[in-house]
């Protein structure tokens, strides 16, 4: 018997390094996770370098690679994924940036890079930004979570290799946007960005929402800081490349955006927040439901990465245990390959991503069970899958699902 569908459960930042506080174990090794261990006993394990050995992947390029898209070819920046993730209609050739609402003084010095993490009123502020006019180019603004937003430039003769205006530090002046490749197109884009920055300041400085914020002693969101230039090109989707009709269950906009980029349908789940407080079980149930009319579902859990970045190994153990509990009953899935892995390691001792490979297990019909006892970084390295790269995963799945075609005659 062989499987006809696949469920990829990606635990962000799951991999870790041995910790003295855990007796030389990793949080995954230390966690009580009967469901994950059972999948390993019934499956084939290995370790995976999301991009390449020793490369510390950002989440965007790592997800691209795992979905079978070479990040060196397809990754231009995070902006487009964030834009797709918040539901913007992005077109081929658009230049897309992320921006922050920020607080500047009259000399354009940054007082607060996040405008006091403004939560309310950003939709109205974004609407006001819609009054900015630059001849010959269409501007699209969209609010994101808290102080974040997206800006897209649409038009001809635009380049995307331009620098950020965010100085990344309070007390410094806003940086002028510059061309990074000295082409006429990028110089034009840089010039447009500088004009947008100036007009945004004029529009936002005296906006009623900011007047009200000042009256309450809150920092006004009187400027935008622009970063992460990227450009959009359409790519052949998972269906075309691997025969996979994909769906995505995730909280964070980045993950939804990468999923959309490769042609998946994003299933919106109430309570999927991309935080510690997310509805783990609700997401799992939505993923199971998604398998009814898709042959590939990608389920993303962000919490292990957050715990790693907080340097909190006990919390990381706790969220791994919550994920394990949330997927209870998973073995009842028939005719489905189950893949558990991560997009990178986020060791608690580092509080950031590392280049350590991540554990991976594939369980389900047709899989050569390798006799591994549990799911963790140590056992996985002895598994039958050996050491693969992120780009290898989709071809392996397409093969196990008998969707692959023969190479040569």
Cβ-closest residue to Zn ion? 59
CA–CA gap between residue 338 and residue 291 (Å, rounded): 12
CA–CA gap between residue 90 and residue 235 (Å, rounded): 13
386 forms beta bridges with 46
Residues 96-115 that bind Zn ion (CB under 5 A): none
Tokens of 385: 């899958």
- Closest separation in Å from C-beta 111 to Zn ion: 31
Can residue 12 be called a binding residue for Zn ion (CB under 5 A)?
Answer: yes
- Closest separation in Å from C-beta 9 to Zn ion: 14
- Closest separation in Å from C-beta 284 to Zn ion: 19
Can residue 16 be called a binding residue for Zn ion (CB under 5 A)?
Answer: no
Could you give the C-alpha distances from 237 to 291, 309, 333, in angstroms and in order? 18, 32, 26
Contact by Cβ (8 Å): 401, 295: yes
Region from 52-60, 237-245, 262-270, 271-279 binding Zn ion, contact rule CB under 5 A: 52-60
Residue nearer to Zn ion on the CB measure, 57 or 219 = 57
CA–CA gap between residue 8 and residue 248 (Å, rounded): 10
Strands 5-11 and 296-301: parallel
Residue nearer to Zn ion on the CB measure, 12 or 143 = 12
Region from 7-15, 69-77, 186-194, 264-272 binding Zn ion, contact rule CB under 5 A: 7-15
Can residue 313 be called a binding residue for Zn ion (CB under 5 A)?
Answer: no
Residue nearer to Zn ion on the CB measure, 360 or 398 = 360
Looking from the CA of 28 toward its CB, the CA atoms found within 13 Å total 30
**Torsion sign, CA atoms 262, 334, 402, 10:** positive
Region from 109-117, 129-137, 298-306, 360-368 binding Zn ion, contact rule CB under 5 A: 298-306
Residues 329-348 that bind Zn ion (CB under 5 A): 343
Residue nearer to Zn ion on the CB measure, 12 or 376 = 12
> % helix / strand / coil in the chain, to the nearest 5?
35, 20, 45
- Closest separation in Å from C-beta 405 to Zn ion: 32
21 forms beta bridges with none
Site string for Zn ion, 57-86 (x = CB under 5 A): --x---------------------------
- Closest separation in Å from C-beta 49 to Zn ion: 14
Residue nearer to Zn ion on the CB measure, 308 or 383 = 308
Residue nearer to Zn ion on the CB measure, 11 or 401 = 11
Can you tell me whether residue 259 is helix, strand or coil? Answer: helix
Residue 32 has a CB neighbour count (10 Å cut-off) of 11
Residue 308 has a CB neighbour count (10 Å cut-off) of 30
- Closest separation in Å from C-beta 68 to Zn ion: 17
Region from 51-59, 186-194, 216-224, 267-275 binding Zn ion, contact rule CB under 5 A: 51-59
Can residue 354 be called a binding residue for Zn ion (CB under 5 A)?
Answer: no
Tokens of 172: 């410094």
Strands across the sheet containing 265-266: 265-266, 246-249, 296-301, 5-11, 336-341, 358-363, 43-49, 386-389
In the complex, which residues of this chain contact Zn ion (CB under 5 A)?
Answer: 12, 59, 305, 343
């Amino acid at each position: 018997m062989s499987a006809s569908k696949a469920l990829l459960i990606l635990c962000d930042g799951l991999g870790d390094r041995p910790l003295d506080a855990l007796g030389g174990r990793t949080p995954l090794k230390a966690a009580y996770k009967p469901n994950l261990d059972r999948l390993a006993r019934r499956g084939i394990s290995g370790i995976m370098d999301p991009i390449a050995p020793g490369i510390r992947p950002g989440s965007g390029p790592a997800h691209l690679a795992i979905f079978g898209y070479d990040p060196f070819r397809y990754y231009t920046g995070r902006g487009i994924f964030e834009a797709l993730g918040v539901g913007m209609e992005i077109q081929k050739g658009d230049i897309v940036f992320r921006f922050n609402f920020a607080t500047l003084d009259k000399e354009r010095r940054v007082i607060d890079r996040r405008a006091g993490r403004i939560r309310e009123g950003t939709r109205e502020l974004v609407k006001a930004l819609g009054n900015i006019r630059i001849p010959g180019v269409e501007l699209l603004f969209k609010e994101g979570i808290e102080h974040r937003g997206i800006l897209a430039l649409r038009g001809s003769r635009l380049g995307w290799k331009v620098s950020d205006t965010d100085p990344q530090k309070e007390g410094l002046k806003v940086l002028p946007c510059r061309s990074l490749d000295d082409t006429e197109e990028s110089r034009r884009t840089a010039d447009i960005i500088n004009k947008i920055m100036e007009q945004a300041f004029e529009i936002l400085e005296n906006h009623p929402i900011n007047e009200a914020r000042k009256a309450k002693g809150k920092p006004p969101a009187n400027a935008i800081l622009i970063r992460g230039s990227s450009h959009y090109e359409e790519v052949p989707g998972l269906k075309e490349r691997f025969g996979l009709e994909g769906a995505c269950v995730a909280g964070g906009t980045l993950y939804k955006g990468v999923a959309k980029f490769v042609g998946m349908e994003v299933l919106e789940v109430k309570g999927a927040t991309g935080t510690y407080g997310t509805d783990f079980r609700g997401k799992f149930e939505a993923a199971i439901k998604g398998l009814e009319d898709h042959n590939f579902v990608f389920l993303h859990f962000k919490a292990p990465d957050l715990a790693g970045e907080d340097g909190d190994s006990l919390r990381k153990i706790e969220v791994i245990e919550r994920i394990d509990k949330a997927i209870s009953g998973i073995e009842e899935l028939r005719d489905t390959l189950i893949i558990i892995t991560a997009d990178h390691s986020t060791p608690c001792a580092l509080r950031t991503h590392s280049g350590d490979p991540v554990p991976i297990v594939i369980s389900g019909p047709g899989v050569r069970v390798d006799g591994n006892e549990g799911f963790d970084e140590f056992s996985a390295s002895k598994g039958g899958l050996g050491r693969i790269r992120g780009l290898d995963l989709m071809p392996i799945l397409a093969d196990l699902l008998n969707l692959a075609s023969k190479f040569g005659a």
